[in-house]
Structure 1
Amino acid sequence: MTDELERLANGVLWPGFLGTEAPAWLIDELRDGLAGVVYFGQNVGAGLADLSAAILAANPDALIGVDEEGGSVTRLEAGTGSTVPGAAQLGGLDDLVATERTGAELARRVRAVGANVVLGPVADVNTDPRNPVIGVRSFGSDEHLVSRHVVAAVDGIQDAAVAACVKHFPGHGDTHLDSHHDLPEIALDIAEFERVHLEPFRAAVEAGVDAVMTAHIVVPAWGDAPATLNPRVLGMLRSWGFDGVIITDALDMAAIRESVGIGGGAARALAAGADLLCIGNPTNPGDAALPDQDRRDFLAARDGIVRALRDGSLSRERVEDAAARVAALAEKLRSRAGTGSEPDSGYDAASILRRAVTVSDRLPDPTGRLDVIDARRRSTLAVDSAADYVSAALAVDGSRARVDVATASITDQDRAIAEAVAASGTTVLLIDRPDADAAQRALVERAAARDPKAVVVNVGLPARHPLPLPTVEVSAASRLGAEIARELLLGRYAPPEKTPTTA
């Protein structure tokens, strides 16, 4: 039986879990006031709506969140790739109506499976092209562009009776480390940081966003603690008049787990002003994950809160305040039920992408077949950037070769080029870091020397320095993006003339 303090802690906890059915421990905790759950790719199956119904039956106030950004990040289409435009594509197009309608479509899909919180849009201004974890998840590198698209996406999501959660406050765009594995420190001039990186979050707060997610980053001018654990940073949101829910990024990320631990992180995040603690994806440890990793991580967070309540390092009033904010969001979503905008029957994601995907130069005459060399970086915990569905959708019946330029010898890389050139189609180099990865660029240069009629499909940030081959700038590692690039290369439609920009 859950005791009083455990039940209080349950009201601010948001765990992930293993499997496509709710485990017994999760149902028990939901009945004892657990705030809800976050869905990850391993939870998504044909019975997802039934899973949501079971969760809501155990706790009708449960918040069910989904990391559904479109583009390179999807959970609902984790096995096949997203069929919705991503932020960089929308930012490059700079059509606010398209962004708002895409937000509404994401909300419609989330609501259709019984969930009620979209963990997006990304409000980070991606000013560091080396950024390994944000990149094309951002609308761009200009704070004004990012701000207006964040507001449009929030409006689209929340008009569809789903909560939006902008992320990752106070801004993860000027980092070159991934907080899933490290604790990034931003040494940017503080006046510039405040002017550029805070602006989209201010705009979202003014637009009435329901929730804001924290970042596990350190801004030395504001103290040594990561933002998630820093009362000065989280206090800024309240000073702006934000009265919604502050949600932590996952506490199982290395920036927290390997410093203060999940339990210590949970207690310190609450003390700093967070309201809802995202515990994380229990599959993240990979082969080291235990069969009950989900419950272990949940208990680590809850036990950390209860210990802090008992030793006085965390006040009961702070946890009650946090739980009240979470409950207020649940009540707001219940009141919105049935009032959301109707599904947009005219929404056409492919038409949006045909305007957003551009080329740097005249494409070679189509051959009817694409032979793809996939040289993208390895996947991260946030983005399944190297997923096979991208190269599969691009090549279809052509050949495919996977080349990890970080580990493959030049001999092996050249062999893959030779085999693609020897085939009867168009050689396609699939890349995602043309400016930040010298090995990817070198592969393209060697392919150009061997086959001047080869082409590049770039699913990362648009190349700032021209490549020696015509380049299709897709700006997302998604199935739909790959399908649109294939249409272009097969001559099925003419590309727009405007070259995309992240400004």
Structure 2
Amino acid sequence: MSADLERLANGVLWPGFLGTEAPAWLLDELRDGLAGVVYFGQNVGDGLADLSAAILAANPDALIGIDEEGGSVTRLESASGSTVPGAAQLGLLDDLIATERTGAELARRVRAIGANVILGPVADVNTDPSNPVIGVRAFGADEELVSRHVVATVDGIQDGAVAACVKHFPGHGDTHVDSHHALPEISLDIEEFERVHLEPFRAAIDAGVDAVMTAHIVVPAWGEAPATLNPRVLGMLREWGFDGVVITDALDMAAIRETVGIDGGAALALAAGADLLCIGNPTNPGAAALPDQDRRDFLAARDGIVAALRDGSLPRERVEEAAGRVAALATKLRSAAERHHDIADDFDAAAIVRRAVAVVGGAPTAASEVAVVDARRRSSLAVDSAAGYVSGALAADGYRVRLDVASNAVSEQDRVLDEVAAASGTTVLLIDRPDTDAAQRALVERAAERDPRAVVVNVGLPARHPLPLPTIEVAAASRLGALVAREALLGRTVPPERVDTAG
């Protein structure tokens, strides 16, 4: 009986794991019906296609998912930075052909390493400029713009024989708390929330999206439980006619782990209507992660499901329904992959990003060398904001220094500004929150007093309030974005000037 229940539970579980090779426990579970795996940065190495092959050999119906959004979020290029346009860049450009082709390129790259599910696009409408976890991952702050670009991306991905998973339902765009660290609550008027934040998800469902990922957010008007565990919220998807796979955001995130626990969260999510439980990245606990954290988290989720099946709080029929949807998606993707043939494409990611990048406050004087002060916020679990590849691509062989304005005193910041001014090349301030981080803005203002020839490169949301220095608005913390900004700094390209950045 126990083995039967464990196999049933395996059919709805989607764990992450440690290492660039499949551990023995994972292969054993795949042979015993495990739904698949999710790749994270620590899994990506030179042998990623071989890793996928080993997983599929253990379970030919395995779903292999990966967070590959482009722009600021990448797993395939986590060591060097994304070379694909990001959502905010595509939203600023508002060229649906460019967006669809970007989706197709993401599918091509993911299929090339043997994966078949992209955890994207982000369908959140980023209406809160201080949002700590979405920001430039969203196409914008307008629901109509976001909806049309979500649909274009879904079309591009799914035409490439890869499943798209729109996220984070019912909408993470108006939060000021990162659900990796706590449980956000939406205080927005419910009528406005339904009108604005649900619309891109409705559009994606109408377009035939294969999967929808839930958010660990509480909307009080719909109950006290976070959406991932809330049958009223997840029930909306079925009411809209969605019969695809409902995937949870990672159950190891603090919003679940530190409230009901991974075990309780797994059972409650299934009872609420979720189909596939993403257990997430076993490195998330940081230094507290144990050598076998991956297996521990997986077993916690499975044990929670089995216990709930045994005591009757989770009906077997509900888990069988969920496993059936997961299996149906796997069958669909296998068939699509067998029919799919790559068509030669001249996709030019750099050309798209050059059209999206703009300058505000006048074009900077062409530089011969660049000295970079990287004053961006610290990295989060979702976005490696402070990754060195951005400043590295921007500075090339020039001087660069990391400056954490949240922890360094103003005197230390000024010392760094003086040090950079004495270095060879044009001073460039690399920032990402000019409107919501007073310390970043203050640094720019002091730098302008010292050196009016300095330049700002902003990889966050475009500044709504003018800065006192020429600003190159990139809208993505990516290697490609940094390389395009460097071209502009050196005078090799002249980005269009954006006069009004308030929209």
TM-score interval for Structure 1 and Structure 2 normalised by the shorter chain:
over 0.9
Give SS of 1:72's match. coil
Q: Specify the alignment match of 1:420 in structure 2.
A: 420
Q: Specify the alignment match of 1:465 in structure 2.
A: 465
Unaligned residue ranges in structure 1 (runs of 5+): none
Q: Specify the alignment match of 1:302 in structure 2.
A: 302
Q: Deviations over 1:371-392 (max 9, x none)?
A: 0000000000000010000000
Farther-moved stretch of structure 1 (340-349 vs 202-211): 340-349
Q: Specify the alignment match of 1:261 in structure 2.
A: 261
* TM-superposed deviation, 1:128: 0.2
1:196 is aligned to 2:196? yes
* TM-superposed deviation, 1:360: 0.2
Q: Specify the alignment match of 2:69 in structure 1.
A: 69
Alpha carbons 1:92, 1:502 under 8 Å: kept? no
Q: Specify the alignment match of 1:113 in structure 2.
A: 113
Give SS of 1:487's match. helix
* TM-superposed deviation, 1:411: 1.0
Alpha carbons 2:161, 2:337 under 8 Å: kept? yes
Give SS of 1:337's match. helix
* CA distance in 1 between partners of 2:287 and 2:19 (Å): 16
Q: Specify the alignment match of 2:129 in structure 1.
A: 129
Alpha carbons 2:83, 2:478 under 8 Å: kept? yes
* TM-superposed deviation, 1:261: 0.1
Give SS of 1:45's match. coil
Q: Specify the alignment match of 1:370 in structure 2.
A: 370
Alpha carbons 1:90, 1:139 under 8 Å: kept? yes
Alpha carbons 1:124, 1:138 under 8 Å: kept? yes
Alpha carbons 1:140, 1:502 under 8 Å: kept? no
Q: Specify the alignment match of 2:47 in structure 1.
A: 47
Alpha carbons 1:161, 1:340 under 8 Å: kept? yes
* TM-superposed deviation, 1:264: 0.2
Q: Deviations over 1:260-280 (max 9, x none)?
A: 000000000000000000001
Alpha carbons 1:125, 1:142 under 8 Å: kept? yes
* CA distance in 1 between partners of 2:439 and 2:50 (Å): 46
Q: Specify the alignment match of 1:449 in structure 2.
A: 449
1:140 is aligned to 2:143? no
* TM-superposed deviation, 1:496: 1.8
Aligned AA for 1:277?
Answer: L
Aligned AA for 1:151?
Answer: V
Aligned AA for 2:490?
Answer: L
Q: Specify the alignment match of 1:187 in structure 2.
A: 187
Q: Specify the alignment match of 1:6 in structure 2.
A: 6
Aligned AA for 1:148?
Answer: R
Aligned AA for 1:421?
Answer: A
* TM-superposed deviation, 1:306: 0.2
TM-score with structure 2 setting the length? 0.99
* CA distance in 2 between partners of 1:344 and 1:228 (Å): 40
Q: Specify the alignment match of 2:396 in structure 1.
A: 396
Give SS of 2:428's match. strand
1:33 is aligned to 2:43? no
* CA distance in 1 between partners of 2:364 and 2:502 (Å): 26
* CA distance in 1 between partners of 2:53 and 2:336 (Å): 18
**Pair 1:237–1:105, CA change in 2 (3 A):** same
Aligned AA for 1:124?
Answer: D
Q: Specify the alignment match of 1:338 in structure 2.
A: 338
Alpha carbons 2:12, 2:319 under 8 Å: kept? yes
* CA distance in 2 between partners of 1:365 and 1:69 (Å): 33
* CA distance in 1 between partners of 2:272 and 2:364 (Å): 57
**When the two structures are aligned, how many residues end up with a matched partner?**
503
* TM-superposed deviation, 1:341: 5.7
**Pair 1:2–1:56, CA change in 2 (3 A):** farther
* TM-superposed deviation, 1:339: 2.9
Unaligned residue ranges in structure 2 (runs of 5+): none
**Pair 1:324–1:463, CA change in 2 (3 A):** same
* CA distance in 1 between partners of 2:362 and 2:99 (Å): 29
Give SS of 1:251's match. coil
* TM-superposed deviation, 1:498: 4.1
1:172 is aligned to 2:186? no
* TM-superposed deviation, 1:335: 1.2
Aligned AA for 2:149?
Answer: H
Q: Deviations over 1:41-70 (max 9, x none)?
A: 000000000000000000000000000000
Q: Deviations over 1:115-165 (max 9, x none)?
A: 000000000000000100000000000000000000000000000000000
Q: Specify the alignment match of 1:220 in structure 2.
A: 220
Q: Specify the alignment match of 2:312 in structure 1.
A: 312
* TM-superposed deviation, 1:500: 7.9
Q: Deviations over 1:440-474 (max 9, x none)?
A: 00000000000000000000000000000011000
Q: Specify the alignment match of 1:163 in structure 2.
A: 163
* CA distance in 1 between partners of 2:364 and 2:354 (Å): 19
1:85 is aligned to 2:85? yes
**Pair 1:95–1:500, CA change in 2 (3 A):** farther
Alpha carbons 1:139, 1:502 under 8 Å: kept? no
Aligned AA for 2:401?
Answer: A
* CA distance in 1 between partners of 2:126 and 2:255 (Å): 20
* CA distance in 1 between partners of 2:502 and 2:365 (Å): 29
Give SS of 1:71's match. coil
* TM-superposed deviation, 1:366: 1.7
* TM-superposed deviation, 1:501: 5.5
Q: Deviations over 1:86-137 (max 9, x none)?
A: 0000000000000000000000000000000000000000000010000000
* CA distance in 1 between partners of 2:177 and 2:255 (Å): 11
* CA distance in 2 between partners of 1:376 and 1:100 (Å): 30
Aligned AA for 2:348?
Answer: D
Give the RMSD, CA atoms, in angstroms.
1.1
* CA distance in 1 between partners of 2:68 and 2:381 (Å): 14
* CA distance in 2 between partners of 1:50 and 1:465 (Å): 49
* TM-superposed deviation, 1:302: 0.1
Q: Specify the alignment match of 2:99 in structure 1.
A: 99
Q: Deviations over 1:190-246 (max 9, x none)?
A: 000000000000000000000000000000000000000000000000000000000
**Residues 267-286 of structure 1: matches in 2 within 5 Å?**
267-286=267-286
* CA distance in 2 between partners of 1:468 and 1:344 (Å): 46
Aligned AA for 2:455?
Answer: V
* CA distance in 2 between partners of 1:338 and 1:491 (Å): 47
* TM-superposed deviation, 1:362: 1.9
TM-score with structure 1 setting the length? 0.99
Alpha carbons 1:91, 1:502 under 8 Å: kept? no
* CA distance in 1 between partners of 2:57 and 2:78 (Å): 26
Aligned AA for 1:106?
Answer: L
* CA distance in 2 between partners of 1:422 and 1:376 (Å): 22
* CA distance in 2 between partners of 1:343 and 1:382 (Å): 33
* CA distance in 2 between partners of 1:343 and 1:213 (Å): 30
**Residues 245-260 of structure 1: matches in 2 within 5 Å?**
245-260=245-260
Aligned AA for 2:456?
Answer: V
* CA distance in 1 between partners of 2:96 and 2:253 (Å): 33
Aligned AA for 1:408?
Answer: N
Alpha carbons 1:105, 1:343 under 8 Å: kept? no
Identity of aligned residues (%): 81
